[in-house]
Amino acid sequence: MSFVTVNNISLKGIAAAVPSVKYSNLDYSHVTVEERELFIKTTGIKERRVAPQGMSTSDMCYEPAKQLIEKLNWNKEDIDVVIMVTQSPDYFIPGSAVILQDRLGLKKSCLAFDINLGCSGYVYGLFVLGNLISSGQLKKGLLLVGDKSTVSTAFTDKSAYPLFGDAGSATALEFDENAKTMYFNLASDGSGKDAINIEHGGSRNGIQKDTFDLIEIEPGIAREKRHLKLNGIEIFNFALREVSPNVNELYAKSNQSMADTDYFVFHQANKLINESVRKKLKIADVSKVLYSLEKYGNTSSASIPLTMITEASDNLITKSNNLCLCGFGVGYSWGSALIHTKPFICLPLIEL
């Protein structure tokens, strides 16, 4: 594990967007009513937001970024860097950050690049952008994080289709010599690459004759090789094995106390995984552990900022808070962060 610190960074604002289209898992006709009810009870996911054809990941990040810049009254000429974290970019090339740099009307000297990460992406993105700004040479930056996960799931795959929702977000960071230190603990294990995987479509396998063949894996699970596949047991075991030790080590090395944490904001994997992690961490005050699963599902890289603004915005806007953020999943990749925030802007959730 990599324990690292970032100084001189102030979180100024967060905004997030979801599609207006709601899909209820009670209406998921591929499985029986009993299976639907059991799925909701186990995962905690009642409904999800699904982006229509033609709405891309960058669309879901553009509006939050645009509105956040306006609310902060930032001069666009002062924004020095834009990072886009996604595993569902608009195109293979060019990167989505470059597209958004132009679409937002930012200066040509603005750094813009993508990071290919999923569930851990928000924590990694905070670390990367924070490091770029911490020296003071770059003053202001935008972290754009989101995924259109539903584009890669098959309706006939009950292991994946009802889990995921679509969302995008924007987080504004600014150089601040008086800001408290941010602490990060980051890790990866590529031996778990097959647990969450899309086999075809990339440069290794490309598009082949059987890419679009619907293959039945087991009853209720049929998908094409261009679709997302999940090994639920392996993912569950990974989360129980790695997440709580990562968080515990972060607290130990930073000399911080869980008792002083106002909110724990974990990636919204599913209720069974997240509650198992909470219990392993011995977090007794369940009100401190935020959930947006019920209304939005697993929103991949956007789940942490989405959860922050939908479940805790009143307190984040009005007072200082100690936050524990933790992302984990595809890769395997995982990481946690301890950040202290002064009151900052949380825009109301944007529906597209």
- Pick the more confident residue, 2 or 13: 13
In whole angstroms, what separates CA 248 from the centre of its chain? 21
Compute the average pLDDT of residues 38-63: 97
**Model-wide pTM > 0.85:** yes
Neighbours of 2 (CB within 10 A): 10
Q: Which fold has domain 1-352?
A: Peroxisomal Thiolase; Chain A, domain 1 (3.40.47)
Say what the pLDDT of residue 88 is: 97
- Catalytic residue selected from 25, 61, 185, 267: 267
Which sequence spans correspond to the domains of the chain? 1-352
When pLDDT is cut at 50, 70 and 90, the band that residue 77 belongs to is very high
Euclidean distance between the first and the last CA atom of the chain, given in angstroms as a whole number: 38
Q: How far apart are CA 132 and CA 147, in angstroms?
A: 23
Active site residue 298: yes
Compute the average pLDDT of residues 269-282: 97
47 Cβ partners below 8 Å, 6+ apart?
A: 22, 23, 24, 25, 294, 295, 296, 297
When pLDDT is cut at 50, 70 and 90, the band that residue 1 belongs to is low
- Catalytic residue selected from 25, 270, 298, 321: 298
**Greatest CA separation found in the chain?**
58
Task: Assign 3-state DSSP to the chain and report helix, strand, coil percentages, each to 5.
Answer: 35, 30, 35
- Catalytic residue selected from 119, 324, 326, 346: 119
Say what the pLDDT of residue 73 is: 98
